């Protein structure tokens, strides 16, 4: 008696199955190490709290606002910032360095799907737990810093889509950066340059409105703000519907550009691959 | 003198080892310059919107920044690599190699690693501090310079103790991949004088995580803000924390059983 071949699934359905399973596995893994995830979150929350305290101090000294942004609005900006940051943490170039050096990538290359799907699915699963763990911290920050935030249902909907857009944009960007490690195991200088550029041009450091005008003009031509400033602004910026939808359009554009570049660069990079270890 | 000799031997070994990879010096120097440049841009940005931050002028905050970068260099060169190695070795069961040697275990685990290239931050931090001091209106006297040096040393001891307490946690929590991120996040608070933080955070950053004592207090010494009781308090706190850390290390060690050795 011969074995019955497995029924061939529709490719889309197979992909959905893969994503759901990979995300579910990650949810369970992350939940197991929730104490570690919490400690990581505490370290991460330090960054926005510092910015918030500095700008709140300045605002209070200036009579309650800096360039039209009030103390309560700063608080809203940085509390939403933290949620967006939670969402746009992705597999880092340092992780790439490790997986190339240790030969971990060999197994990933043997699998039937493009390796980026594994990263996207696993981190997306982790997000679900991280966001749940972040909620009590957000409640604490809200009690302490008293944010000034009023949102409409449309803003909430756009925000929900925009944080996933931010996640995908940053995944593409850091994948492109990570692929540098196919050529060199000392990419850290390049990574740091990227992080610094992102810090200044994305709204991560301060609302872009507070940066010099020429910096804002430069930022308009770069993808960084669509992974930080725009998702935050969807909730705190009181943007008109046109701008909200236009922003989502820009995110789609940058995801498409990023995906195309990842596709091209991956084909070129993978031929360079030789694991240093293993 | 024996502990000093042991530490010196490891320091030389670490330096010789790293000196083989000279390209890493340029990478470290580039990263350090980049970090300083961005920190100065942030400082300029803040002072383009105000003339003083909670009573601190721009040159004074440059001093705080310089001290934070300088001490960060010491931490990344000599403290953090050792502490991360403890965590890794507890997990892998390799700590036996240190414990079976005829030397005090705390001393050994604290001096085994030294990353000489990361000391470029000490130089760049020193330069930022120098520029900040030069721009101060008041000059720094010999007494202030001396108390600054002493307080910086006390700050180093406090940070070492804090890191060792964290690393000792590995005897209970094996999965400690978050330590470096947690420390980096908390250490970044030292870039600003702790007086700007709300009360609960200020107290935490003084007594729970001794960033205030390690960075703001030495900065107070060079900006003529130091009260005479503060150095005494810092010294007493460092001595007490050192004793507690030593006890905690030995207490944690009792839980250790080599996992794979």
Beta bridge partners of A65: A70
Q: How far is CA A232 from the centre of its chain?
A: 12
| DSSP element (H, E) containing A70 | strand A69-70
Among B237, B241, B61, residue whose Cα is nearest residue B151: B237
Q: Quick: pLDDT tens for A60-78.
A: 888 888 888 999 999 999 9
Mean of pLDDT over chain B: 89
Tokens 């060199």 belong to residue? A184
What would the mean pLDDT of A7-19 be, rounded to a whole number?
84
**A-chain residues within 8 Å CB-CB of B175?**
33, 36
Of B90, B65, B228, B67, nearest in space to B159 by CA? B67
Q: Domain for residue A276, yes or no?
A: no
Q: Is residue A23 part of a domain?
A: yes
Q: Is A36 a residue whose pLDDT tops 60?
A: yes
Which of B22, B24, B36, B38 is the best mutation test for A, with the most CBs of A within 10 A? Answer: B38
User: Exposure string (b/e) for A166-177, b if CB count within 10 Å is 16 or more?
Assistant: bbbbbbbbbbbb
H/E stretch holding A65 reads: strand A65-66
Which residues from A are below 8 Å from B177, CB to CB?
36, 40
Q: Which of B27, B41, B189 sits opposite A46 (nearest CB)?
A: B189
Residue with tokens 């071949």: A5
Which residues of A, range 133-162, sit inside 8 Å of B by Cβ? Answer: 144
Question: Averaged over A179-190, what is the pLDDT?
Answer: 81
Domain-embedded: residue A251: yes
Please give the residue of chain A at the shortest CA–CA distance from B39. Answer: A196
Q: State percent of chain A over pLDDT 70.
A: 96
Here the tokens at position B25 are 């010096």
Q: Is residue A5 part of a domain?
A: no
Q: Touching check for A94 and chain B: CB below 8 Å? A: no
Residues of chain A with C-beta less than 8 angstroms from the C-beta of B34: 192-193, 196
As for the ipTM of the complex, it is 0.86
Of residues B47 and A33, more confidence is placed in: B47
Q: What are phi and psi of A66, to 5 degrees?
A: -125, 120
Q: Which of A41, A146, A184, A192 to mutate to test the interface with B (most CBs of B within 10 A)?
A: A192
Please judge whether A61 and B191 are an interchain contact, meaning their C-beta atoms are less than 8 angstroms apart.
no
CA distance B2 to chain A (A): 37
Which percentage of chain B shows pLDDT scores above 90?
A: 44
Hey, what are A171's tokens?
């995944």
Query: Which candidate, A204, A36, A234, places its Cα nearest to that of A129?
Result: A36
Are A50 and B192 inside 8 Å of each other by CB?
yes
Is A196 touching B (CB cutoff 8 A)?
yes
Residue A98 within any structural domain of the chain: yes
pLDDT score, position A8: 72
Mark yes or no for CB contact A54/B192 under 8 Å.
yes
Query: What tokens does B59 get?
Result: 């040159």
* Domain assignment of residue A234, yes or no: yes
Contact A186 B23 (CB under 8 A): yes
CA-CA distance, B250 to A87, in Å (whole number)?
40
Neighbours of B83 (CB within 10 A): 25
- Out of A43, A186, A210, closest to residue B178 by CB: A43
Alpha carbons B97 and B256: distance in angstroms, whole number: 13
- For residue B174, pLDDT beyond 50: yes
Residue in B38, B46, B176 nearest the CB of A199: B38
Is B188 in Cβ contact with A50 (below 8 Å)? yes
Q: Does A210 contact chain B (CB < 8 Å)?
A: yes
For residue A145, being part of any structural domain is answered with yes
Indicate yes or no: CB of A58 within 8 angstroms of CB of B175: no
Which of the four pLDDT bands, split at 50, 70 and 90, describes residue A278? very low
Give me the helices (H) in A111-240, please.
115-145, 153-178, 188-201, 213-220, 224-227, 229-236
CB contact under 8 A, A43 and B183: yes
pLDDT tens for B23-75 read 888 888 888 998 999 999 999 999 988 888 888 899 999 999 999 999 999 99
Whether the predicted pLDDT of A213 surpasses 50: yes
Return the domain boundaries, chain B.
2-253
- Provide the pLDDT confidence category of residue A3 given band limits of 50, 70 and 90: low
Q: Three-class SS of residue B14?
A: helix
Give dist(CA A234, CA A248) in Å, integer.
10
Name the nearest CA neighbour of B185 among A233, A29, A38: A38
- Is residue A220 packed enough to be buried (19+ CB in 10 Å), middle (13-18) or exposed (0-12)? exposed
| Mean pLDDT to the nearest integer, B89-100 | 86
pLDDT band, very low/low/confident/very high, at B126 (cuts 50, 70, 90): very high
Number of domains in chain A: 1
Confidence band (pLDDT; 50, 70, 90) for A276? low
Is residue A243 domain-resident?
Answer: yes
pLDDT exceeds 90 at position B127: yes
| pLDDT of A71 | 92
What whole-number percentage of chain A has pLDDT above 90?
A: 42
Across A213-242, average pLDDT: 92
Comparing B122 with B259, the larger pLDDT belongs to B122
pLDDT > 70? residue B171: yes
How much is the average pLDDT of B159-184? 88
Task: Residue B58: list chain A partners with CB under 8 A.
Answer: none
With cut-offs at 50, 70 and 90, classify the pLDDT of residue B212: confident
* Predicted local confidence at residue B82, as pLDDT: 94
**What are the residues of chain B with a beta carbon less than 8 Å away from any beta carbon of chain A?**
23-24, 27, 30-31, 34-35, 37-38, 41-42, 45-46, 49-50, 52-54, 173, 175-179, 181-186, 188-189, 191-192, 196-198, 201
Residues facing residue A69 across a β-bridge? A66
Select the more confidently predicted residue: A111 or A217.
Answer: A217
Is the Cβ–Cβ distance between B148 and B222 less than 8 Å? Answer: yes
């Amino acid at each position: 008696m011969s074995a019955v071949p497995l029924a061939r699934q529709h490719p889309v359905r197979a992909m959905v199955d893969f994503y759901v399973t990979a995300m579910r596995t990650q949810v369970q893994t992350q939940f197991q190490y929730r104490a570690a995830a919490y400690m990581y979150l505490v370290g991460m929350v330090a960054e926005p709290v510092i910015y918030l305290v500095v700008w709140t101090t300045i605002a209070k000294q200036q009579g309650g606002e800096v360039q039209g942004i009030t103390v309560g609005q700063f608080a809203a900006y940085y509390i939403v910032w933290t949620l967006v940051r939670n969402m746009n943490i992705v597999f880092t170039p340092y992780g790439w360095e490790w997986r190339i050096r240790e030969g971990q990538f060999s197994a990933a290359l043997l699998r039937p799907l493009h390796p980026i799907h594994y990263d996207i699915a696993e981190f997306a699963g982790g997000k679900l737990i991280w966001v749940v763990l972040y909620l009590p911290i957000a409640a604490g920050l809200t009690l302490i810093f008293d944010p000034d935030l009023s949102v409409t249902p449309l803003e909430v909907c756009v925000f929900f889509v925009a944080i996933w857009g931010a996640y995908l944009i940053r995944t593409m960007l850091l994948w492109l950066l990570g692929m540098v490690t196919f050529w060199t195991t000392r990419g850290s200088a390049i990574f740091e340059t990227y992080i610094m550029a992102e810090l200044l041009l994305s709204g991560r450091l301060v609302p872009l409105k507070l940066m010099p005008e020429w910096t804002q003009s430069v930022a308009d031509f770069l993808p960084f703000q669509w992974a930080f400033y725009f998702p935050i602004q969807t909730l705190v910026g009181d943007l008109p519907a046109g701008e909200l939808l236009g922003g989502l359009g820009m995110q789609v554009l940058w995801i498409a550009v990023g995906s195309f570049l990842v596709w091209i660069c991956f084909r070129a990079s993978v031929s360079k691959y030789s694991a240093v270890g293993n | 003198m024996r502990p000093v000799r042991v530490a010196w031997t490891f320091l030389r070994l670490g330096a010789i080892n790293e000196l083989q990879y000279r390209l890493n010096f340029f990478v470290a120097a580039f990263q350090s310059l980049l970090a300083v440049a961005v920190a100065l841009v942030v400082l300029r940005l803040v002072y383009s919107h105000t003339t003083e931050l909670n009573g601190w002028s721009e040159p004074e905050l440059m001093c705080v920044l310089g001290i934070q970068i300088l001490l960060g260099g010491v931490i990344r060169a000599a403290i953090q690599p050792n502490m991360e190695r403890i965590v890794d070795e507890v997990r892998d069961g390799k700590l036996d190699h240190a414990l079976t040697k005829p030397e005090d275990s705390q001393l050994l685990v604290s001096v085994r690693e030294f990353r000489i290239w990361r000391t470029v931050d000490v130089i760049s931090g020193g330069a930022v501090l120098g520029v900040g001091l030069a721009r101060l209106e008041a000059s720094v006297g010999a007494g202030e310079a001396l108390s600054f040096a002493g307080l910086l040393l006390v700050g180093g001891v406090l940070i070492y103790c804090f890191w060792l307490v964290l690393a000792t946690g590995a005897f209970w929590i094996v999965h400690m991949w978050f330590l470096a991120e947690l420390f980096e996040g908390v250490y970044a608070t030292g870039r600003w004088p702790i007086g700007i933080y709300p009360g609960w955070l200020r107290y935490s950053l003084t007594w729970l995580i001794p960033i205030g004592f390690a960075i703001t207090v030495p900065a107070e010494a060079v900006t003529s803000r130091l009260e005479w009781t503060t150095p005494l308090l810092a010294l007493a706190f460092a001595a007490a924390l050192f004793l507690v850390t030593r006890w905690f290390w030995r207490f944690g060690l009792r839980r250790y059983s080599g996992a794979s050795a």
